[in-house]
Structure 1
Amino acid sequence: MLSSFSLGAEAARRHHRSHHHHARQLPAAPPRALPYPQLSLPFEIPGAQYLPLAWADVKGWDDDNHLAAYKTFRASCRPVNAQNGAAEPKVFEPKAFEPKAFEPKALGTSLSEPCRAAKTLDLADDAKAKTFFEENFTPLRISRLGEPDGFVTGYYEPVLEGSRTQTDVYNVPVYRRPSNLFVRGYKQDSLSLPNKGPVYRKIGRRKLVPYYDRGEIEDGKIAGRGLEIAWLKDPTDLLFAQIQGSARIKFEDGSSVRLNYDAYNGYPYTAVGRILIERGIIPKEEMSMQKIREWMAQNPDGAKELRRANRAYIFFREVNLSDKDEAVGAQGIPLTAGRSIAVDKSLHVYGTPFFIEGELPIESERAKTPFHRLMIAQDTGSAIIGPARADLFFGAGQEAGRVSGRLRHPMRFVMLVPKSLDPGPRAAKLPIPDPRPSEKIAKLFPQTDPAKTGTPVAAAAQGKNETVAIAGPVPLPVPRPAIDPAAEPRRPVKNRPHRQQ
């Protein structure tokens, strides 16, 4: 019976659709407008804690060279203006109930406003540069959730000796990106690949397997394919060039080549210094890149095993830069020694200013040099993770390498947030709450006078001349009567003859 009813209902629906599909559709009701303005999402950085400050509370702010920081910031504004357009942004009126697009990074496109202002301001005065930052930004102390400070390291551009061809002396290859390296969602010849996530080796047209790790590549898995850009003397030189993400290689004929990070093989970076600390080989307080180099030079077999413990491998590309130019960061512009930093690009926008303050061993390994400087986010790295984590760029050469190699220190971070995201002006846009009801309306809904009741709450409120609402007793529901289930009538059973097989 049930199945026949279902089939009949389905037949009726088909009949209705076949005879009434030309019926005029009623117009949809217009969306109901919200009674309050649509405000942008609040400023938020995942896993971070932050505190708004006054400029007077930013320690060391008045002592910095703001003009040098302004020039570095203005360089970052060129790609920002090119991306967002130098013209005034168009006003977009969202439809009712239509959610606004969410920008996963904290600042979103808010840097476009101070960058448009900087485009026409070719400042040459430190005081005016300081005023520019104070008028366009709000200082915000930031750190990882539950931690008081951030953390900084240093990096530089190594200058290495090399050869265009393999010789007995130069036999460590520097590879460019292989053609069979594949990242999901990207073309194989894409100019920019992510520095996080899985990377595959494409076999045939469809099969994907994890790419070779450092040990396999050092054993020659991609040798002989014409991927060699140059050849170095020492595998330790290559390791540190890969850690820094860039290098200058000088050849015997006086020419040179500039290399920048292009891609990696998909394995997470493992800090070789941490391994030496965990094994008790180098004390934590003495750890530096120079100490790692010295140990590797004295222990070639151990150095090979230590390198392979870091399965990550970096591929380079040649860049057209002169020896006078600094290395190019991930933002696509030359870095500025002492002003550029690498940050977590999943949280921060390139071009964001950070004021970093504390003490660093710059003059010597044990020195505590006061450091309070406005830095600009222009680069990134796979080991730079967190809201208050930065890698300070110190330039090129051995001296820059010595200074940057001994930096592993907690520092205080102050993030400069554009005024368009300042909580103060945003709060002014919030709607004013409705006024309290008038006396005439209040008389229609009188409150219970506790002074006339004998409850303990009323007695306590009577002495304070307060009015509270007392709920009366709520009657319990009447229980349902118990009803015995009626016995089902027995159906007569007909005797049917069994079929003979």
Structure 2
Amino acid sequence: MTGALRAILLMLALSPVAPVSAADIRNEVADFADLPRWPHDDHAAALSVFLETCPDMAGADWQSLCALAQTDPAPRTFFELFFRPVLITDGTPALFTGYFEPELFGALRPDARYRHPVYRLPPEARNSSVWLSRREIVTGDVMQGRGLEIAWVDDPVELFFLQIQGSGRIRLPDGRVIRVGYAGSNGHSYRSIGVELVRRGIYKAHQVSAQVIKNWVRRNPVAGRELLLHNPSYVFFRRIDEVPPERGPLGAMNRSVTPGRTVAVDPAHVPLGAPVWIETEGHDPMHRLMVAQDTGSAIRGPQRADIFFGAGDAAGRRAGRLRDRGRMLVLMPIQRAYAMLTDPFE
């Protein structure tokens, strides 16, 4: 899961953002003593996650550290001896949000309960830059009788949000779980229904969340269905059978992501696979060593990150509540860290 669509609902700010140039980037090397609660984290858990993806990292220094990590070192000592935390900033305040893997209830055959199809990508959509709109796909018969259904689910609202997340799990009546991932789209630009609710004056921007939108659509079934059709973008899926259901979905490094330890970043500033120290403020502060293993279309800038919370409704609620400030430091191999230092006279 690349998270290409999952964070768009969080982009509710209506004012333009000034572009950031390379000259705005500042790199500062910190000490582990500067990281509050560093000694109290579970460094072994972070090292285990680092090992999942470090073999795929480029660079002799990364590969050497990855090989060393496989020799079962003392986790905290490993990070403190061979890395230095680097604070990368561009003048934009840090923002941490959360994402999760939705779990829907569905079946491999339609019936009175399971009526809403999860579609594969049709050939004509694959071969066209812009295909039919959501309204045309949902209300028309272009998809009928073609065997493009992966499964049928019981809730059209959850299906809509599955498309925003870009991947998820479908729990079948017999308890089995299948996983689906992003296969393509109809090429239309995403139109936020959260922004539309704000435009209509139904909610203020700070009130809008995924759960608020779901509740409004369910309370207003006719207007709610029309609201979903306001977004012309439509996402198609593929089955992902190579990842066991008990594992997390695939991240941008094509490896399973880990709840509470995987973070999505902007790879223009943070190397994929690098350990990152997260400090969030807010109602439930977090100080934790994670690993940058995913990306997202709304994740832009050196202090922007999306934390993976796991699968299902509980994870979704936790992810939906997170919108905190704080800071993120990237743990870089020592020589690389000092080579990144910004000249204080620049």
TM-score with structure 2 setting the length: 0.82
1:423 matched to 2:338: yes
Asked if 2 retains the 8 angstrom alpha-carbon contact of 1:330 and 1:380, the reply is yes
CA distance in 2, matches of 1:268, 1:250: 30
Greater Cα shift, 400-409 or 376-385: 376-385
Structure 2 counterpart of 1:132: 78
Percent identity of equivalent pairs: 40
Gaps of 5+ in 2: 1-20
Q: Which amino acid aligns with 1:140?
A: V
CA distance in 1, matches of 2:104, 2:340: 52
Structure 2 counterpart of 1:72: 49
1:225 matched to 2:225: no
Structure 2 counterpart of 1:404: 319
Gaps of 5+ in 1: 1-43, 85-107, 183-199, 202-208, 361-367, 428-501
Q: Which of the pair has more CA radius of gyration?
A: 1
TM-score with structure 1 setting the length: 0.58
The Cα of 1:403 is off from its aligned counterpart by 0.8
Structure 1 counterpart of 2:95: 151
Asked if 2 retains the 8 angstrom alpha-carbon contact of 1:55 and 1:134, the reply is yes
The Cα of 1:45 is off from its aligned counterpart by 6.5
CA distance in 1, matches of 2:82, 2:308: 25
Matched position secondary structure for 2:88: strand
1:369 matched to 2:284: yes
Asked if 2 retains the 8 angstrom alpha-carbon contact of 1:248 and 1:256, the reply is yes
Structure 1 counterpart of 2:17: none
| Alignment partner of 1:114 out of 40, 61, 65 | 65
CA distance in 1, matches of 2:187, 2:63: 33
| Alignment partner of 2:136 out of 216, 221, 238 | 216
Asked if 1 retains the 8 angstrom alpha-carbon contact of 2:85 and 2:337, the reply is no
> CA RMSD of the aligned region, Å?
2.7
- Equivalent residue pairs, number: 320
Q: For residues 408 and 310 of structure 1, do their structure 2 counterparts lie closer, same or farther at Cα, with a shift above 3 Å needed?
A: farther
The Cα of 1:129 is off from its aligned counterpart by 1.3
CA distance in 1, matches of 2:269, 2:183: 21
Q: For residues 308 and 110 of structure 1, do their structure 2 counterparts lie closer, same or farther at Cα, with a shift above 3 Å needed?
A: farther
Q: For residues 289 and 426 of structure 1, do their structure 2 counterparts lie closer, same or farther at Cα, with a shift above 3 Å needed?
A: closer
Once the two structures are superposed, the pairs formed by residues 197-208 of structure 1 within 5 Å of their partners are: 201=128
The Cα of 1:233 is off from its aligned counterpart by 1.9
CA distance in 2, matches of 1:109, 1:382: 29
CA distance in 2, matches of 1:172, 1:256: 17
The Cα of 1:346 is off from its aligned counterpart by 4.9
Asked if 1 retains the 8 angstrom alpha-carbon contact of 2:277 and 2:290, the reply is yes
1:380 matched to 2:331: no
1:179 matched to 2:123: yes
| Alignment partner of 1:234 out of 148, 155, 177 | 155
Once the two structures are superposed, the pairs formed by residues 330-369 of structure 1 within 5 Å of their partners are: 330-360=252-282, 368-369=283-284
The Cα of 1:390 is off from its aligned counterpart by 1.6
CA distance in 1, matches of 2:276, 2:227: 35
Matched position secondary structure for 2:147: coil
The Cα of 1:109 is off from its aligned counterpart by 7.0
Q: Which amino acid aligns with 1:266?
A: G
Matched position secondary structure for 2:277: strand
CA distance in 2, matches of 1:47, 1:370: 28
Asked if 2 retains the 8 angstrom alpha-carbon contact of 1:52 and 1:141, the reply is yes
The Cα of 1:230 is off from its aligned counterpart by 0.5
The Cα of 1:79 is off from its aligned counterpart by 3.1
Asked if 2 retains the 8 angstrom alpha-carbon contact of 1:52 and 1:140, the reply is yes
Asked if 1 retains the 8 angstrom alpha-carbon contact of 2:61 and 2:333, the reply is yes
CA distance in 1, matches of 2:184, 2:296: 11
Matched position secondary structure for 2:256: coil
Higher relative CO (Cα under 8 Å, sequence separation at least 6) belongs to 2
Q: Which amino acid aligns with 1:260?
A: G
Deviations, residues 169-218 of structure 1 (Å, cap 9, x unaligned): 32211112233344xxxxxxxxxxxxxxxxx51xxxxxxx5233333322
Matched position secondary structure for 1:422: helix
| Alignment partner of 1:141 out of 87, 106, 112 | 87
CA distance in 2, matches of 1:262, 1:283: 34
Asked if 2 retains the 8 angstrom alpha-carbon contact of 1:357 and 1:373, the reply is yes
